[in-house]
Amino acid sequence: MERYQKHISLPGFGLEGQEILRNTSVLIIGAGGLGVPVMQQLTACGVGTIGILDGDSIDISNLHRQLLYTEQDVGKSKVEVAAQKLQQMNSEVSIKKYPFFLKAENALEIFPHYDVIVDATDRFDARYLINDVCVLLQKVWVYGAVFQWEGQWAVWNFSVNSSVKTTYRDLFPKPPKATMIPDCNAQGVFATVPVITGYFMANELIKLLIYPNEISLNMLSYLNFLNNKSHTLTIVPRVDFTEAPSSSKEILDFDYSYYCGYETKIEKQKGGQEQFEKDVLIVDVRQPEEFPKLPVKCLQIPLAELPQRIHELNTKKVLFVCQSGIRSKKAYELCKTLLPETQLDYFAGHVEQFIKKYQHA
Partner 1 sequence: MKVLLFGILSEHIQTSKVPWESFKTVKELESFLMEQFPVLHNIPIQFAVNHQMVSSDFELKNVEELALMPPFSGG
Residues that bind partner 1 (CB under 8 A): 30, 32-34, 65, 119-124, 127, 144-147, 150-152, 170-178, 180-184, 187, 189, 193-194, 197-198, 220, 222, 231-236, 238, 240, 261
Q: Which lies closer to partner 1 via its Cβ, residue 178 or residue 355? A: 178
Which helix or strand (DSSP H or E) is residue 128 part of?
helix 124-137
CB of 98 to partner 1, least distance (A): 18
Q: Which lies closer to partner 1 via its Cβ, residue 240 or residue 341? A: 240
Q: Which lies closer to partner 1 via its Cβ, residue 172 or residue 258? A: 172
CB of 178 to partner 1, least distance (A): 8
Q: Which lies closer to partner 1 via its Cβ, residue 209 or residue 235? A: 235
DSSP conformational letter for 148: B
Q: Which lies closer to partner 1 via its Cβ, residue 43 or residue 121? A: 121
Residue of 256, 266, 262, 190 whose CA lies nearest to 227: 190
- Which pairing describes strands 343-346 and 94-98: parallel, antiparallel, or unpaired? unpaired
Q: Which lies closer to partner 1 via its Cβ, residue 77 or residue 121? A: 121
Asked if residues 111 and 131 have their Cβ atoms less than 8 Å apart, the reply is no
Q: Which lies closer to partner 1 via its Cβ, residue 29 or residue 321? A: 29
CB of 218 to partner 1, least distance (A): 9
DSSP conformational letter for 294: P
For residue 345, the cross-strand partners are: 319
CB of 276 to partner 1, least distance (A): 33
Measuring CA to CA, how many Å separate 100 from each of 199, 255, 287, 319?
24, 18, 17, 23
**Calpha distance 177→313 (Å, rounded):** 34
Q: Is the dihedral of CA 188, 83, 105, 136 positive or negative?
A: negative
CB of 192 to partner 1, least distance (A): 11
Asked if residues 206 and 45 have their Cβ atoms less than 8 Å apart, the reply is yes
CB of 352 to partner 1, least distance (A): 22
Give the chain's end-to-end CA distance (angstroms, integer). Answer: 56
For residue 321, the cross-strand partners are: 284
Which residues, at least 6 apart from 238, have a Cβ–Cβ distance to it below 8 Å?
A: 169, 170, 173
CB of 33 to partner 1, least distance (A): 3
Q: Which lies closer to partner 1 via its Cβ, residue 132 or residue 150? A: 150
CB of 64 to partner 1, least distance (A): 12
Q: Which lies closer to partner 1 via its Cβ, residue 62 or residue 77? A: 62
CB of 354 to partner 1, least distance (A): 24
